[in-house]
Amino acid sequence: MRSLRDRLAGQDVVIQGLASKTGRNQLAAMQAQGTRVVAGVSGRQGGTEVEGLPIYSTMEEACRATGATVALLLVPAEHVRSAALKAFAAGVELLVVLAEGVPVMDALAVAEAAGDALVVGPNSPGVIVPGLAKLGFMPSGVLKPGPVGLVSRSGTLSYEVSLHLAQRSVGVSTWIGIGGDLTPFLPMPRAAELVTADPRTELLVLVGEVGGTGEEAVAQAIADGRLNVPVHALIVGRSAGGDEPLGHAGAVMLGGAGGYDAKVQRLREAGVTVHGTPWELAEAVAAQVTRHEERPAQTAGTVS
């Protein structure tokens, strides 16, 4: 499997919604991480510019003019389906969707239409490969390139985990926020595979929560040998109960499935180290990465 780093390296990016307030505010932060934004799309502001970047009226025009195959959608939830389908028709191969609360039927239609395209979201803070590219609004000021891959369902919890890692001088290889909606486009195990396919990733961190079965699917991927790096996890929702959503639409335990204890048990059975707080996780990860980095290089013929 090609890593997310490989899919982003050297790629031009079109932002649908670049002319919006959010687009204008986030542009500089994305460019600071190396993102090659080449154009924006706005049905009402085609023919104008934002910070010297052309705004096209349609995604087809933007992709044809720039050759870009990577896109970020900064559009309201009710417009995601239309915008995504137009992006696929224009040849977009990697699409990141930030909107929260995309209608379930719309999300299913997007997933069906995606074909071979990789789609991240909805309700995602974005993706980032520090120093290479960032598509989204996750805080990147404290991030530096490093050996830890991060896959999260919760944006704000992953921000805190990233801060604690940064405070311990631990860098990140790739961070994918798959989003907290009920129907994520990118399953958690595949996100983990996209992160760990990068040889720079020496350790994987999962930030999960109650609801759904994504974390259990990661445990199965480990058992199947599809993930071959150490894995640490933070699962929240220990005291949650009932069939009502808790913050995220996806954090709902229907019929008792997706509960905290079951997730933790499955992960631990697969060899994952599960932590109770972000700082405990960061401390353990920092210790493990440090041991790895300080371990003397093996010489030829050495057996570990």
Given 232, 248, 275, 292, the catalytic residue: 248
Cis amide linkage into residue 125, ω under 30° from 0: no
Distance of alpha carbon 215 from alpha carbon 250, whole angstroms: 12
**Pairing relationship of beta strands 172-177 and 126-129 according to DSSP bridges:** antiparallel
**Pairing relationship of beta strands 53-56 and 49-50 according to DSSP bridges:** antiparallel
**Pairing relationship of beta strands 126-129 and 36-41 according to DSSP bridges:** unpaired
248 assigned to active site: yes
Distance of alpha carbon 95 from alpha carbon 303, whole angstroms: 44
Query: What is the residue whose two structure tokens read 């090659």?
Result: 36
Distance of alpha carbon 128 from alpha carbon 174, whole angstroms: 6
Structure tokens belonging to residue 272: 């994952």
Distance of alpha carbon 98 from alpha carbon 279, whole angstroms: 27
Nearest residue to 180 via CA among 225, 106, 124: 124
Distance of alpha carbon 71 from alpha carbon 87, whole angstroms: 8
Which residues are catalytic, by number? 248
